[in-house]
Amino acid sequence: MDAEKHSSQTALFAAAARAAHPLVDNRPHLLSDEVAQRLCRTASPSPLDYQLSQPGSPVLAAARLASCTRARFAEAVVSETQADQVLLLGAGLDTVANRRPAAPPVSVWAADRPDVLSWRSRLFHEAGLNDRARCVPADLAAGLDLEDLEAAGMDLRRPVLALWLGVSMYLTPERCRDFIGELAALPAGSRVVVDYHLSPEHRDEAGRAYAQAVAAMAGHAGEPWQCSTAPGTVAGWFVGHGWRVELDVDEAAATPEGFFDRQEHLSPMRLVRLLHAVR
């Protein structure tokens, strides 16, 4: 069996970006992900090696910024809302379940394609780690069955925080809009945190260059980018399905004040937006 065929190269690329950030960028760090470092070290060659040897590469630096900013933004919502049920949609190698302290307890479910979840489990095993997220096989292009979540132990009488990170761009715009409607079946008080891409005319030069490079790589790896929109479009989809949008900002606006002044390799780009909605 060709294990690579059953993996997600974009998930590994994102994990390597989070793993490398505290090792190659200046303080203050957006986050520190030692679990991702351990997972990436099980792969050979590992994209972490490229990150460590070429931290100034614009594509690798922009990947660190995007992967770490969305994780930091999402984890701030976990903390601020004291969410105790977190659902990772397109989990890939997300490590939040293993990085959060045991108290207060947070239960985490990882939804992704079945083959990607098997690969995820194998990497955790090879890294000597116990994956604290419960796996829920799902094809988000077809839908998410809430009964599968319940069968995996989620309490659907209480709010759920869904972290839909680094995934919307792999679905079609119609599918993203419909999926937002399907998520509205989650209990009242549930939240969604999602990142999405601006369409080409709304990007700056750095955003255009990064999108061109990564879209080619992702497409080559069988995970083509499909969804990008004007600012406000995704918020409109949420509102249309009964959600209230709490925040919808450019990626750079989600970094700490003065963050870029201290960075050698990282600079703002206009491509990614981060949105937090509640219902």
Ligand X SMILES: C[S@@+](CC[C@H](N)C(=O)[O-])C[C@H]1O[C@@H](n2cnc3c(N)ncnc32)[C@H](O)[C@@H]1O
User: Rule CB under 6 A: which residues touch ligand X?
Assistant: 8, 10-11, 14, 67, 90-92, 94, 112-113, 116, 138-141, 165-167, 170
Which tokens in the block code for residue 84? 């105790």
Collapsing DSSP to helix, strand or coil, 41 comes out as coil
The residue among 140 and 277 lying less far from ligand X, judged by its C-beta, is 140
We find the least distance from the C-beta atom of residue 157 to ligand X, in angstroms, to be: 26
On whether the CB atoms of residues 195 and 273 are closer than 8 A, the answer is yes
We find the least distance from the C-beta atom of residue 120 to ligand X, in angstroms, to be: 8
We find the least distance from the C-beta atom of residue 261 to ligand X, in angstroms, to be: 26
Buried b (16+ CB within 10 A) or exposed e, 66-100: bbbbbbbbbbebbeeeebbbbbbbbbbbbbbbbbb
* Chain-centre distance for alpha carbon 238: 18
We find the least distance from the C-beta atom of residue 188 to ligand X, in angstroms, to be: 25
We find the least distance from the C-beta atom of residue 138 to ligand X, in angstroms, to be: 6
The residue among 186 and 194 lying less far from ligand X, judged by its C-beta, is 194
The residue among 8 and 107 lying less far from ligand X, judged by its C-beta, is 8
The residue among 26 and 172 lying less far from ligand X, judged by its C-beta, is 172
The residue among 152 and 239 lying less far from ligand X, judged by its C-beta, is 152
Can you tell me the distance from the alpha carbon of 75 to that of 154, in angstroms, rounded to the nearest whole number?
19
Please list, in sequence order, all residues whose beta carbon lies within 8 angstroms of the beta carbon of residue 188, skipping any fewer than 6 positions away: 159, 279
The residue among 14 and 40 lying less far from ligand X, judged by its C-beta, is 14
Please list, in sequence order, all residues whose beta carbon lies within 8 angstroms of the beta carbon of residue 50, skipping any fewer than 6 positions away: 16, 57, 60
Rg over alpha carbons for the chain, rounded to the nearest Å, is 17
We find the least distance from the C-beta atom of residue 104 to ligand X, in angstroms, to be: 23
